[in-house]
Amino acid sequence: METIFEIQRRLHEECDRLVMAMSEELMIPKKTTKEKVLADHRIKIYLERYQTCSKSLLELYQDKDGERKQEITNMSVNEFKEFYSQFNGLIEFHSNHGNNVAVPASIEFDKLKEQLNDPAYLAEVVKFSDVENYGQYLDLHECYDNFVNLKGIDKIDYITYLSEFNKFADIPRKQKNLKYKGYLQLLHDYLYSFITRSRPLFFELEHTVKRNELQFEDMWKNGIVPGWEKVRDVDDDALINLNEFGKWEDLTYLGLDRLKAALQALGMKCGGTLEERAQRLFASKDDKNQENERKRMMNLNKEKDIALLEYKIAKLSELVDDQIYETKINLQRKQARYTLDESDEDSMDEEESDDDDGIPYNPKNLPLGYDGKPIPYWLYKLHQLHFTYECEICGNYKYNGPKAFQNHFSEWRHAHGMRCLGIPNTAHFANITKIEDALVLWDKVKEQTFSKMWVPANEEEFEDSRGNILSKKVYLDLQKQGLL
C-alpha cells in the first residue's frame, strides 16, 4: 500500500512528464492543418490528465481527513518504527501479489505517446468528414437540406446559404415553428461540435456560451433581441387591463381593430363581430379561462427558445468566420473548374454533331478515353500528359507523361531494342534512353563482371616438394624445364 508521500511523489512525477510531453509536442513544427489539429488534440489529452493529477494533489495537500498530518507525526516521533512498519507492509504486499509486474512511469508514457501517434486511434478520437478536411472547411449540407425543406422559405443555393445562414431577421415570424426550431437545434449542435473538434484547446467555449445566454436574458427582458424587437413591442402594447372594465359591453367602445390586437396578443381567436370579440376577451378575465393565459405563456416560451437558439448560432458563427470564408472560396473554385470542363464538353458535343464523318473534335490533341472521346483537359494536366519523353533505343518513339515513360522500360518495344544492341534489359539500364549511353554502360558492366571472374591460370595454386606456393602457369613451366 502506497503512503501519502509516495502518492504525492508519483503524481508530481506524472505532472512533470506531462509538461515535458506537451513541450515536445509544441516544439515540433506543423506544416498542414491536419497535423495542427491532431497535435492540439494530443495536447488536450495531456492537459486533461494534468488537470486530474493536479486536482488529486490539491486534495492530498488540503488533507481534509488528516492522514497526511498523521503520517508526518509518525515519522517525526519514531522514524525507525515507521520505516519498519512501511517495510513490513511492502513485504506483505509483495508476498500476496508476487506475480504482479511494476510498470515504470517512463514505459507507461512511451506507450501513451505511441498510442496518441497512432493514426487509427486518433481517427476514432477526432472524426472529420471528407468535406471538412480536418477543420479547414464547414460541412453544412445536412443543415442546408433541412433549411430548403422548410415551408415558406425562399430556395437559395448552397454558397448563398453559407453567407446568410446566420441572418435570422429576414425570416418571417410566422415561419418560425417547431420544424424551424429543430433546424436551429441541428445547426447549433453542428457549429458547437465543429468548434470543439477543430479547436480543441479553446477551453473558453463553454464560458462563452454561458455568457451569451446571460446576455440574451438581459436583452430579452429589455426587448432588444435582434429580430424580435417589434414583436415584443406589439404584444406589450396590445394587451388590455381587463380589471378596468366591469362588463363586456364596455369593451365594445375600443373598436374592432383594438380588440383583434388584444386577442392576438393572448393567442386567442380574433375573428367574429364586435360583440363576439368583446365577449371572448372579457371571458378570459374569469378563473375558468386560465387556459388562454397558459397558452399565451407557452407561445412566449417557444418564441424565447427560438430566439435564444438564433442568438447562440449568430455568436458561434462569429467564431468560424475564417472557415466560412474558406468554404465559399473552395466551393467557387470547384464550381469554376466544373463549369469550365462542362463548357469544353458542350463545345465538343456541338462540334461532333456538326461533323459528318463522326471524328471527335479535338483541337488540343488530347488522348482519347475508353468512350472514344478526348479526356478532360484538367485530367490531361493532372497526369502531366503535356510532357513528352523520347527514347532512342525504341526507335525515337515518344511517350506522353512520366507514368507511360517509366512503364515502357519493361515493355516489349524497349526490350526488343536492347536485344538488337546485344544488351540484356536489366535494372542497370533503367532510365537509359540513348544508344551510346547504353553501350558505354554495358562495357563498364562487363569490365566489372569479368574482373571478378575466377581465372584458373592465375588463381589456381600448386605446391612443390619444398613447400613453395606457385601459380598453375609457373608450376607447369618449371615442370617442363625439369627444374622441380
* Tens-place pLDDT, residues 72-103: 777 777 777 777 777 787 777 777 776 766 66
351 — pLDDT class (breaks 50, 70, 90) = low
The three three-digit cell numbers of residue 113, written as one number: 505517446
Mean pLDDT across the chain: 81
Residue 103 to residue 97: CA distance in whole angstroms: 14
- State the distance between the two ends of the chain, measured CA to CA, in whole angstroms: 90
Residue 183 to residue 147: CA distance in whole angstroms: 7
Q: What is the DSSP letter of 374?
A: B
Q: Residue 50's pLDDT is what? A: 92
Per DSSP, the three-state class of 72 is helix
Q: Residue 340's pLDDT is what? A: 59
pLDDT > 70: percent of the chain: 85
- DSSP sequence for 266-318: TT----S-HHHHHHHHHHTTSGGGHHHHHHHHHHHHHHHHHHHHHHHHHHHHH
Q: Residue 455's pLDDT is what? A: 67
347 — pLDDT class (breaks 50, 70, 90) = low
The three three-digit cell numbers of residue 163, written as one number: 453567407
The three three-digit cell numbers of residue 96, written as one number: 500476496
Phi/psi at 399 (5° precision) = -115, 135
pTM assigned to the model = 0.56
Q: Residue 292's pLDDT is what? A: 57
Whether 34 and 101 have beta carbons less than 8 Å apart is answered as: no
For residue 384, pLDDT over 80 is answered with yes
Q: Residue 285's pLDDT is what? A: 65
Three-class HEC string of 31-52? CCHHHHHHHHHHHHHHHHHHHH
53 — pLDDT class (breaks 50, 70, 90) = very high
* Residue 34 amino acid letter: K
Read off the pLDDT of residues 277-321 as tens digits, 9 standing for 90 and up.
887 777 776 644 555 556 666 777 788 888 889 999 999 999 999
Give buried/exposed letters for 130-152 (b at 16+ CB in 10 A, else e). eebbbbbbbbbeebbebbeebee
Total residues found in the chain within this entry: 484
- Burial class from Cβ neighbours inside 10 Å (0-12, 13-18, 19+) for residue 379 reads middle
Q: What is the DSSP letter of 253?
A: G
User: Which of 230-239, 287-296, 370-379 has the least mean pLDDT?
Assistant: 230-239
Q: Residue 287's pLDDT is what? A: 47
Q: Residue 95's pLDDT is what? A: 75
Q: Where are the domains of the chain?
A: 4-125, 130-232+299-338, 377-453, 454-483
Q: Residue 195's pLDDT is what? A: 92
The three three-digit cell numbers of residue 481, written as one number: 624445364
Q: Is the dihedral of CA 256, 261, 264, 265 positive or negative?
A: negative
- Burial class from Cβ neighbours inside 10 Å (0-12, 13-18, 19+) for residue 102 reads exposed
Closest CA to 190 of 139, 116, 244, 235: 139
Q: Residue 51's pLDDT is what? A: 92
Please give the helix or strand (H or E) that residue 122 lies within, else none: helix 119-125
Q: Residue 251's pLDDT is what? A: 75
